[in-house]
Amino acid sequence: MIETVLIHFSGQDRPGVTALLTEILAEYDACVLDIGQAVVHESLSLGLLIEIAEASVLPLRDALIARSAELELQARFTPITKPDLEHWIRSQGKDRFIITVLGRAISARHLSQVSAIITEHGLNVDRIERLSGRMSLAEHSPHANACVELRASGQARSEAEMRAAFLAAAQEMRIDIAFQRESIFRRNRRLFAFDMDSTLIQGEVIDELAKLAGVGDQVVKITEAAMRGELDFKQSFTRRVSLLQGLSEKQVLELLGTIPLVEGAEHLIGTLKMLGYKTAILSGGFTFFARHLQTRLGIDYVFANELDIVDGAVTGLVKTEIVDGAKKAALLKDIAKQENISLEQVVAVGDGANDLPMLGIAGMGIAFRAKPLVRQSAGHAVSFLGLDSLLYLIGVRDRDLGNARPAPQ
């Protein structure tokens, strides 16, 4: 006869604990069906689900209790019935989800609300892990990242309603909550595609050009309406460019280097390059600035609008196909095809309504510091941390990088 037993050890962690305990399991020829271990602040929790001959259960129990005493651990043994074992085996096919909580600091209130939403929608938390580095409040800085990842399983009553609940909680608590299905693609992304203005850089290039041309207020109003989705992008772009007529080429080029990168952009791009990802800028802005970023950051692909300059001055005319939302999506498909990857392996990041088409076809579409319409429509939204926090969403932990930090650009 074969017995199934769940064994749980807890106590102070130290090197060699797992080896010393499994050594005894090996002596009694136990078969390990499942194993899980977590260490929080040097406190160990180790669980093993084993199958063992019925005659060996008591001798094994006595040997493990003696070894646990030597190691100053508590040991608990729970017999598992056949129906419970069969239920555990059948449940391996259930849906699994990853909920990532991001903020400058993570509080008990944050975790309480997130876990309550998980429970309310019929899921069970299977595992919780900190992805950010170790940090105390005494060391806290205004640009610190804190991230906790929860893995949950079950049959969600409504993924759409659950996502909406997370979005509402995130806005109320001023944190970010990402909700995604666990899949083979999560750690197998290959391409990051970015909008440029207000995504990679802190501002809109066309607005800055308009200030130089003395038409800043007029252009800003058109830009804001377009980003909110109130105006057709092509029409609004044509109107804005027309207002730039007469601006000198010298003034245009002086803008390079004056608009700072968004927080975390350099770290994110550098890390992605180090890990072998391809990167792209798909922008409704201008190529002269996008190519500047390409040189500075090492971006692989750049597609944007050409600012028409004749005889040293901006003409105010649009002579090439405008890169609008539909064009961005088409370009993203072309790049994925050229790289021979699935769209599921693509992460797209943007902040405006014209980014929604590419966010919608990417395996992971992220609204970054976006307008409300875009946050509600995208699969994921990050509003309170820098761009480098997106690394957590693809499963990169701070300790994974260790000393392998990307070289400064």
What is the token pair recorded at 394?
A: 């693809």
List, by residue number, the catalytic residues.
Answer: 195, 197
Mean pLDDT value across residues 149-165: 91
2-90 architecture in CATH?
Answer: 2-Layer Sandwich (3.30)
pLDDT by residue (tens digit) across 325-372? 999 999 999 999 999 999 999 999 999 989 999 999 999 999 999 988
Return mean pLDDT, the chain: 91
Q: Is 343 exposed, middle or buried (0-12, 13-18, 19+ CB in 10 A)?
A: middle
Where residue 264 falls among pLDDT bands split at 50, 70, 90?
Answer: very high
- The reply to whether 191-402 shares the fold of 2-90 is no
Where residue 403 falls among pLDDT bands split at 50, 70, 90?
Answer: low
Q: How far is CA 172 from CA 8, 109, 125, 167, 354, in A?
A: 38, 12, 23, 9, 26
pLDDT by residue (tens digit) across 198-257? 999 999 999 999 999 999 999 988 878 776 767 788 888 999 999 999 999 999 999 998
Give residue 318's pLDDT.
Answer: 87
The answer, yes or no, to whether residue 138 has pLDDT greater than 70, is no
Mean pLDDT value across residues 110-117: 96
CA separation for the pair 101, 369 (Å, rounded): 16
Where residue 263 falls among pLDDT bands split at 50, 70, 90?
Answer: very high
Q: Worst-scoring range by mean pLDDT, 23-37, 87-101, 117-131?
A: 87-101
Closest CA to 312 of 361, 357, 249, 225: 249
Q: Which fold has domain 191-402?
A: Rossmann fold (3.40.50)
The CATH number of 94-181 is which of 3.40.50.10860, 3.40.50.620, 3.40.50.720, 3.30.70.260?
3.30.70.260
DSSP bridge pairs for 261:
201
Give residue 23's pLDDT.
Answer: 95
Half-sphere exposure of 160 (CA within 13 A, CB side): 1
Sequence spans of domains, the chain: 2-90, 94-181, 191-402
Write the DSSP assignment of 128-151 as a string of letters.
EEE-SPP--GGG--TT--EEEEEE
Cβ neighbors of 36 (< 8 A, separation 6 or more) are 46, 47, 127
